[in-house]
Amino acid sequence: MLKKLVLFVVLLFCLKSFANDGYKLWLQYDYIKNENLRSEYQAATSNLMSFGTSETIKIALKELELGLNGMLGSDYKSASKNSVLIFGNKTNLSNDILQKLGNSFTEINEEGYIIKSLFLKEKNHIVISGKTDLGVLYGVFNFLKHIQTQKSIKTLNIKDSPKIDIRVLNHWDNLDRTVERGYSGFSIWDWHRLPDYLDPRYTDYARANASIGINGTVLNNVNANALILTPQYLDKVEALANVFRPYGIKVYLTARFSAPIEIGGLETADPYNNDVIQWWAEKTKEIYERIPDFGGYLVKANSEGQPGPQNYDRNHVDGANMLATALEPFNGVVMWRAFVYSEHDVTDRAKQAYSEFVPYDGQFKDNVLVQVKNGPIDFQPHEPFHPMFGAMPKTPLMMEFQITQEYLGQSTHSIYLPKQYEEVLNSDTYRKGKGSTVAKVIDGSLHDKKLTGIAGVSNIGNDVNWTGNPMLQANWYGYGRLAWNPYLSAEDIAEDWLRSTFSNDKRFIEPVKQMMMTTTEAVVNYMTPFGLHHIMATGHHYGPGPWVSNLSRPEWNPVYYHKADSLGVGFDRTPTGSHATEQYAPEVAKKFNDLKRISDEDLLWFHHVAWDYKMKNGKTLWNNMALKYQEGVDQVKQMMETWENMKPFVDEQRYNNIKMLLEIQYKEAKWWRDACLLYFQEYSNMPLPESVDKPTQTLDYFQSLSFPFAPGN
Ligand code: BDP
């Protein structure tokens, strides 16, 4: 009997290392095998004392117990009687502890936390505190991260606060559970069974977000359906808000501008019409009666066919301010998107958002944020930063990053996006001299903003591992970390993620971290080197389509963006072309205009360059382009090789998962290289350099491929 039991336990243990479906994300809480470390952690945490009775504090306690049990073993509590781990918000702590914490509380904001080691009444204490219970929860997650990443907890003295107020995910999820640009299954919101059936996944979602500091979620697609605002759906939204609340996650909804007509029975949605104003006021009140901490509305107006104030000869300010007035009594905000472009503007799509919005600076109400995509076109593998950043000193500008990989190989390509986010955040707008980075615009420090925000278009779906590819969990994680602190380094975040998600073994972390750090460069190389952009196939954007020229709107066609001809390739946005560079501060514009100073990665974004143009390295543009495509392919090969060597450190399930996906990525990188080079060669009329692999198919073949059921469309 005993033998059988032992066998069973051993078997269970082995199975564990084979099967990890990735559902637990970065909250794996794996047992720490290093005995010294384990006893250090055990000694410090064996007595937990929580102060406060809120749901949030209960969650913090549960999380500590779960994490410590997992990492230190179930007997950790008996380790020592001489130390105490105390957590609770400021108002609940005893005076002697408060005295020891001194003026720490003046250094954190409402969501911030303190973690401090102190000696009191003959005992070692670790105190985790904040001004609010939510701050305490964030502190608890941070403390657990210390142990997950195996840092010393002997003398802790941490004070940390989020630098951005609104840190939201944008779900482009539809009410029928399809997800626009979603590549990880269907929407996790099971609208049909809500509000009565509460999928445990809602709690797990809130917990994962809280663990990285995300504090809001926009539940539905920016291409909005007005039904979400009907009582039938608000019942469901309310149920979700109740689940999320103790985790500090506020719910926001996208507001379809024509909702007063579609569900309100009015004849107009004109923001100057009194009935319309009244309708929004009442609708908003109805929402707050259900959800007192409702965050507000996200609006896509007069963009890609969505209705908006311009349908009534009003402008964006009129529309945004009307909604802001309705939200004002409840402290709600409007996130008004700047992603607008019109087929009637023949100059340059990249200029339109700036041209349309910058003149409105100073006219929006205080509770309006203008939400701007990271670059001026649309979430490309590489874009220069959006010229609006820094150009509207009187308006809070929110960053919109895309976590889902609409244009970056979707969920099969393992791309570590925080590297791209970091580049954007570090870009210097020069709006108030050198050092006026995009991060300073977003966190409000450049122009002293009271309200700040950041949004990430979610890559989450109902796939068991949430993101369709375990490697892409890092993008959700990294987005959250940068939303909390936009000055963190992508490399440090990658390391934390790897340690929390897979292993603390250096032989694993170093190579995989290096691999992750090359991925954004690789995808640019094998898809759109030197500033090429928007050359993806039509509609689903899956795979190459630089030849596409038959779409009804000029700026939907790849040929509009690359402008390849017998002379050269690239979009001239300098003063000899569309003048788009003039939308940047003079220092930045000068650099972009100057062929000698512009960085290679922005070259064809801003210039039409001859095929035989000699680049900085002395080689022609054509040769460099071909070599870059090849380099991208080689980089993916290298990623595969790195991963092959990681087998000993990763459970079999996730190891194989990632391995198969890397093989797809490699195949598709070659597809991109071959299709693009064959196509551009028709214009350059130049041979491929020796070291570039010869395409194995014809251009006709690549052009004949079609994917009617590619996801996310
Ligand atoms: C584009 C997407 C489209 C979105 C749009 C947006 O192709 O699905 O609706 O952006 O951000 O990238 O509104």
Nearest atom in ligand 1 to 303's CA:
13
Query: Residue 296's pLDDT is what?
Result: 98
Mutate to test the pocket of ligand 1, among 171, 218, 304, 405 (most ligand atoms within 8 A of CB): 304
Measured in degrees and rounded to the nearest 5, phi and psi for residue 11 equal -60, -45
One-letter amino acid identity for 108? I
Using the predicted structure, report yes or no on whether residue 672 has a pLDDT greater than 70. Answer: yes
Distance CA 621, CA 39 (A): 59
Q: Is 663 an annotated catalytic residue?
A: no
Least Cα distance to 380 among 605, 591, 118 occurs for 605
8 A C-beta contact, residue 166 and residue 333:
yes
Least Cα distance to 423 among 398, 399, 397 occurs for 399
Nearest atom in ligand 1 to 407's CA:
12
Q: Considering all CA atoms of the chain, what is the largest pairwise distance in Å, rounded to the nearest integer?
A: 85
| 223 Cα–ligand 1 center, Å | 8
If you take atom 9 of ligand 1, which residue's CA is the nearest one? 223
What's the Cα-to-Cα distance from 311 to each of 275, 302, 305, 307, 318, rounded to whole Å?
17, 8, 11, 7, 12
Q: Which residue has the higher pLDDT, 2 or 313?
A: 313
Mutate to test the pocket of ligand 1, among 339, 341, 401, 533 (most ligand atoms within 8 A of CB): 339
If you take atom 12 of ligand 1, which residue's CA is the nearest one? 378
One-letter amino acid identity for 345? D
Distance CA 483, CA 164 (A): 7
What's the Cα-to-Cα distance from 338 to each of 290, 394, 582, rounded to whole Å?
30, 15, 19
| 182 Cα–ligand 1 center, Å | 11
| 295 Cα–ligand 1 center, Å | 23
Query: Residue 3's pLDDT is what?
Result: 57
Nearest atom in ligand 1 to 457's CA:
11
| 476 Cα–ligand 1 center, Å | 19
Query: Residue 14's pLDDT is what?
Result: 47
Measured in degrees and rounded to the nearest 5, phi and psi for residue 427 equal -65, 140
Start-to-end C-alpha separation, the chain: 57
pLDDT band at 76 (very low <50, low <70, confident <90, very high): confident
Name residues whose C-beta falls within 8 Å of residue 12's C-beta, 6 or more positions apart in sequence.
none
Residue 669: CA count within 13 A, CB half-sphere: 33
| 647 Cα–ligand 1 center, Å | 38
Q: SS3 sequence, 343-366?
A: CCCCCCHHHHHHHHHHHHCCCCCC
Query: Judging by beta carbons within 10 Å of its beta carbon (0-12, 13-18, 19+), is residue 69 exposed, middle or buried?
Result: middle
Distance CA 615, CA 597 (A): 11
Distance CA 668, CA 676 (A): 12
Distance CA 609, CA 597 (A): 14
Which helix (H) or strand (E) covers residue 407, if one does? none
Share of the chain above pLDDT 70, in %: 97
Distance CA 189, CA 191 (A): 6
Nearest atom in ligand 1 to 379's CA:
12
User: Is the pTM higher than 0.85?
Assistant: yes
Q: Report, as an integer, the average pLDDT of 359-388.
A: 98
If you take atom 10 of ligand 1, which residue's CA is the nearest one? 378
Catalytic residue among 378, 400, 422, 555: 378
What's the Cα-to-Cα distance from 243 to each of 246, 332, 333, rounded to whole Å?
7, 20, 21
Nearest atom in ligand 1 to 306's CA:
13
The predicted-structure confidence for 495-525, as pLDDT tens digits, reads as follows 999 999 999 999 999 999 999 999 999 999 9
Q: Alpha-carbon dihedral of residues 485, 488, 491, 493, nearest 10 degrees?
A: -30
Place of tokens 């199975």: 15
If you take atom 11 of ligand 1, which residue's CA is the nearest one? 339
- In CATH, the number for domain 525-571+608-704 is 3.90.1330.10
Catalytic residue among 133, 348, 406, 572: 406
| 173 Cα–ligand 1 center, Å | 12
Q: Return the CATH fold of 23-160.
A: Chitobiase; domain 2 (3.30.379)
Q: Report, as an integer, the average pLDDT of 705-712.
A: 96
What's the Cα-to-Cα distance from 133 to each of 129, 140, 147, 451, 556, rounded to whole Å?
8, 10, 21, 22, 48
8 A C-beta contact, residue 138 and residue 87:
no
8 A C-beta contact, residue 662 and residue 469:
no
The answer to whether domain 166-501 has CATH 3.20.20.70 is no
| 303 Cα–ligand 1 center, Å | 9
Distance CA 615, CA 610 (A): 10
Nearest atom in ligand 1 to 181's CA:
8
Q: Alpha-carbon dihedral of residues 284, 290, 293, 298, nearest 10 degrees?
A: -40
Mean pLDDT of the chain: 96
Using the predicted structure, report yes or no on whether residue 11 has a pLDDT greater than 60. Answer: no
Nearest atom in ligand 1 to 223's CA:
9
Query: Residue 16's pLDDT is what?
Result: 45
Query: Residue 15's pLDDT is what?
Result: 46
Catalytic residue among 110, 176, 304, 565: 304
Burial 52-62 (b: 16+ CB within 10 A, else e): bebebbebbbe
Least confident of 33-47, 67-81, 225-239, 520-534: 67-81
Measured in degrees and rounded to the nearest 5, phi and psi for residue 8 equal -60, -45
Using the predicted structure, report yes or no on whether residue 376 has a pLDDT greater than 90. Answer: yes
Distance CA 476, CA 666 (A): 23
* Tokens found for residue 91: 């108002």
Place of tokens 């006709």: 700
| 503 Cα–ligand 1 center, Å | 36
Q: Report, as an integer, the average pLDDT of 638-649.
A: 98
If you take atom 1 of ligand 1, which residue's CA is the nearest one? 378
Q: Is 35 an annotated catalytic residue?
A: no
pLDDT band at 454 (very low <50, low <70, confident <90, very high): very high
Q: Alpha-carbon dihedral of residues 184, 516, 397, 485, nearest 10 degrees?
A: 110
Distance CA 370, CA 337 (A): 6
Query: Residue 339's pLDDT is what?
Result: 97
| 152 Cα–ligand 1 center, Å | 45
Query: Residue 4's pLDDT is what?
Result: 60
The predicted-structure confidence for 147-165, as pLDDT tens digits, reads as follows 999 999 999 999 999 999 9
8 A C-beta contact, residue 325 and residue 284:
no
Residue-range domain boundaries for the chain: 23-160, 166-501, 525-571+608-704
Q: Report, as an integer, the average pLDDT of 192-196.
A: 98
Ligand 1 binding pocket, CB closer than 6 Å: 180-181, 222-223, 300, 304, 339, 378-379, 406
